[in-house]
Structure 1
Amino acid sequence: MTTAEEIVEPSTAEPRPRRVRGLLGWVAVAALVLVVAWVGLQVTANPPSATRSLDPEGRNGVGALALAEILRDQGVDVQVFRSRTDARAAIDDDTTLVMTNPYTLSDEALAELMSPADRIVFLSTGSHLLGELGMGDYAPGNLDSVDADCAAREFADVGSIRPDRLLEPAEGVMACFGDDDGAAVLIDDTDGAHTTVVDGTTLFSNAYLAEDGNAALALALLGQTERVVWYVPTLADTDIEAQSPDTLGDLTPGWVTPAILLLIAAGIAAALWRGQRFGPLVAETLPVTVRASETMHGRARLTAKAGDAAHAARVLREGSQRRLARRLGLTARATSDEVADAASDRLGIPRGTLQSVLAGPLPLDDPGLIEFARALADLEAAVEKTLRTRRSDE
């Protein structure tokens, strides 16, 4: 006895990899949208810090809030100013003026800010600032770990540091924490003010202040007076007027524009003059007529030269199919099977007999092409003969 499980046929459902791939694509798109949305929320919730490098109020890794708090713990009054006018007014005899590279100030504004200060410390510098102060320039190379090795007494207990960049001292400038190639700290006492320059962008930042002797060096530089006036250069306090770059019109001589306009006018006039010289275009029929038979023979020669028997057989079968469909009263869109069935009915032979001729494989060599052409010609002749017989009988 045959059970129900034995007569159940296996499933013929085919897997649909396209649907799976499409689903995976939509999942990837959704994941990308979620990631972008999450990043946007993070940026909105935690906007980039507006504080700059070595800002005494900056809490991020490049800020200097830790240094300012250490100075306050040591009893130093740290006052932060973002206006050079207010900073200059706050300077007295027992004050250290501290700032990073004041790239937002002109040389005149910087000199005015420094004039009342007896002790000045630049926590970062640049080539222009070093040249303006006359204290030296940047030096190539670097040092792993160095001690003060200079006559400055405030650096006696600092220990060793790892300077980021070295400075080459000018004549008469004291160099500390370095060697003959360069030093990390430059000190100048020649102009009546004690001016110190150090590239401490990394040394005095919140992220690296606790390493080596960085904190001790900062206290030695900034903790020699009871008050510290810390000026933070900003673009809002700049005295440098923005100058727009020269445009192409500013750099072009005055005679260029009229000359260009004159050339444009001359070109337009020449186009109008030459364009109407020969009058309007006249349509003219070709003097040569190409006959359809010549086109047919040309295509036949190309096909024979290429040796493409299959293409020639396809052309022959399409032509025979069109002629047979017209003779059998079928439409021009009749398929090969429909034409073969109609021809079989007309010839009185079983259906399916002519399928190999009108819908079967095409020959691939010249002998097969010849046999195929003869079969098509015989079929057309047989159908035409039946039509003539019917007309004679009528």
Structure 2
Amino acid sequence: MTVTSDLSPAPVIGDGTTSRSRAGSRWRRARWPLAIVGLVLLVGLLAALPAPRTSTVALAPDNPSALGSRALAEVLRDQGVEITYVRSSAAALEAAGAGSTLLVTSDAMLSDEQAGQIAASEADLVLVEPVWLLPFVTSAADTTPEYAPSQVRTAECADPDARAAGTVTVSGSGFIALDDDATTCFPAPGGESGGGAYLVVEGERRVTAISDGTPLTNDAITAEGNAALALRMLGRHDHLVWYVPSLADSGEASGPALRDMLPPWAGPVALQLLLVAAVAGVWRARRLGRVVVEPLPVTVRSGEATRGRGRLYRRSRSYGHAAAALRAGVATRTAAQLGLPRSAPAPVVIDALARATGRANDDVAGLLYGPPPTDDTGLALLARRLDELESEVHRT
């Protein structure tokens, strides 16, 4: 019985290779470029993924740390409040208007002009720890000089927002009402001024102030009635302008920066293109081998090179360079004649030449290290005197 096999050898190509060997060769040549392309695509994909924007600015709506207010901002957004986060008074005044709420988290870096502009805004104002901004905004209340540490306080007033909160955790100086339009809540236990840590002034617009930003922070938002008070203060309107003053806030409107005019994907694409350019440069860069010595097409005698350099010095009036070259040559030759090393300092060379020639040290120093000549006559005189000095050393 004859057994036949279906296995047949791979066909051999005309150059002695098989289809399998040619495929393997192609893969070996292409695997590194493919790996680089895959890496570039991976980096571009990771760069294009949206990342949560966070900061470390106190009371900022994008700060997830203990002193930030990201938790409060997220709850307000869930309740349908549109939040505009700004760092300049010009942007805050542009975004805020009638029917909106303007939150000012601090007045420490505001100028009088900025305070006056904020006071003229038609938006409802919520002021956090207004040390000196309050008199610009309203004359119905003022701050008290008393300072109380952080403690739990009870509303003790008729304001519905304060009564809904019940108790809050606050510190700092309080407020006192100067007329019937102002209402103060959450007085300090044992306080003598009769004021409170929370102020509401009703009028053409509503002005709300709190003596401390602690109830707005992530660390304290869930304590006592802090969340209820914060949500009621900031959620009265569908639009909230969240203004956190910065050191760079000059109060003047400025045009959009270049990065503001670029689309969101411009950064990742630019990074990807830069990486591609770097990889292409490494891939296609010229590989330099060892230095190869080759004969020059023309032989230039040393005397001709010296005369040519001298003519260049003379044409450019470089008396200093020419003098330095003459002095360096004499110093090198005479030092070698006297057995001094090439690294010998100037005082050693001067002393050795003075002893060998019988000249004074000052004379030798003036010839080798004196001021440069300023004309052809001075240069020629220096060259003759240097030649005399060198000849005296040779005679010894």
TM-score (norm 1): 0.44
TM-score if structure 2 supplies the norm length? 0.44
Q: Which has the larger radius of gyration?
A: 1
